[in-house]
Amino acid sequence: MSKFLVRLRPFAFIFVLLIVWQIAVSRQPGHLLPTPLQVLRGLLFRYVVASLFRVTWGFTMAAILAIPLGLAIGWNRRAEMAINPFVQLFRPISPLAWIPISILWFGVGDFAAIFLIFLASFLPLILTAMNAVDSIPAVYINAGRNFGLSSSQLVWRVLYPAVAPQLIIGLRITLGIAWLVVVAAEMIAVNSGLGFLIVDARNAGNRYDLVVAGMVMIGVIGLMLDTGMRSLEKVRALRWGYSED
């Protein structure tokens, strides 16, 4: 029962905030900000679908390419010494700085936003994979070799299980970055999605109910994405890599 009450605390806190929000807006003479009910009426399904579509494609393609490449580079010391400087050179460049180039290459539309999300996800994931390989204790590798494992067996039975917990953490953090970037990209590079909704609602007659609705949905979806990634930490094969709560 106590664990159930602990899990209800975040929802109770949100409920209290909604009540305070409603009371504060009702006492405001100008009614500049919308009430929670007005915000709920402003939640438009197609804007949410558009943002999730772009994040899904950009993040998935980055993960498919960056993780195996990062593991291969981290496994080969010479490749890491050769490629790591280029990765470190491009890593500090904000993905939003690529907006003019993405529009030039792909125009205003989904491909431009997906490209920006891909860039925002690719470099963090490749660095995570490289660092995950570097953090593998040497005793794991030596033990595998002592048992006569071939190179391919060493990769599948030692490398991947050893780096999986760290990769999950990297995926979780990178997904949050991708969600931030899609909202910013949609304010400039596309004409749909939650980011576009916020800008368009502001320009179209100060529709602050839609502005706040978009902000609320961004926060709620971000929380759901993070919760979904955290659920991977409970997989039995990966649980060894995380401390107990």
Domain assignment present for residue 30? The answer is no
pLDDT at 1: 47
pLDDT at 60: 92
Backbone angles phi, psi at 42, to 5 degrees: -90, 0
In three-state secondary structure terms, 226 is helix
Q: Provide the domain count of the chain.
A: 1
Strands (E), 158-239: none
pLDDT at 221: 84
Structure tokens at 175: 């997904």
Judge whether 91 and 128 are in contact, CB under 8 Å. no
Question: Exposed, middle or buried: residue 25 (CB in 10 Å: 0-12, 13-18, 19+)?
Answer: middle
| CA atoms 112, 115, 119, 120: torsion sign | positive
Domain assignment present for residue 82? The answer is yes
Structure tokens at 61: 């393609």
Each residue's pLDDT tens digit, 58-90: 999 999 999 888 888 877 778 777 887 888 888
Domain assignment present for residue 22? The answer is no
| CATH number (domain holding residue 165) | 1.10.3720.10
Q: Which of 44-48, 137-141, 162-166, 177-181 has the lowest mean pLDDT?
A: 137-141
Judge whether 12 and 20 are in contact, CB under 8 Å. no
Q: For residues 108-124, give the mean pLDDT.
A: 87
Nearest to 148 by CA among 158, 135, 133: 158
Report pTM. Answer: 0.76
How far is 111 from 176, CA to CA, in rounded Å? 20
Domain assignment present for residue 126? The answer is yes
How far is 36 from 38, CA to CA, in rounded Å? 5
Let me know how many helices (H) and strands (E) the chain has, helices first: 11, 0
Task: State percent of the chain over pLDDT 70.
Answer: 72
pLDDT at 230: 79
pLDDT at 31: 58
Chain mean pLDDT for the chain: 77
Q: For residues 26-53, give the mean pLDDT.
A: 71
Structure tokens at 203: 């320009």
Domain assignment present for residue 31? The answer is no
pLDDT at 65: 92
Domain assignment present for residue 9? The answer is no
State the residue range of the domain holding 52: 46-241
Q: For residues 97-114, give the mean pLDDT.
A: 84
Judge whether 51 and 222 are in contact, CB under 8 Å. no
Res 130 pLDDT > 80: yes
Domain assignment present for residue 50? The answer is yes
Judge whether 58 and 178 are in contact, CB under 8 Å. yes
Domain assignment present for residue 195? The answer is yes
The residue with tokens 């794991």 is 140
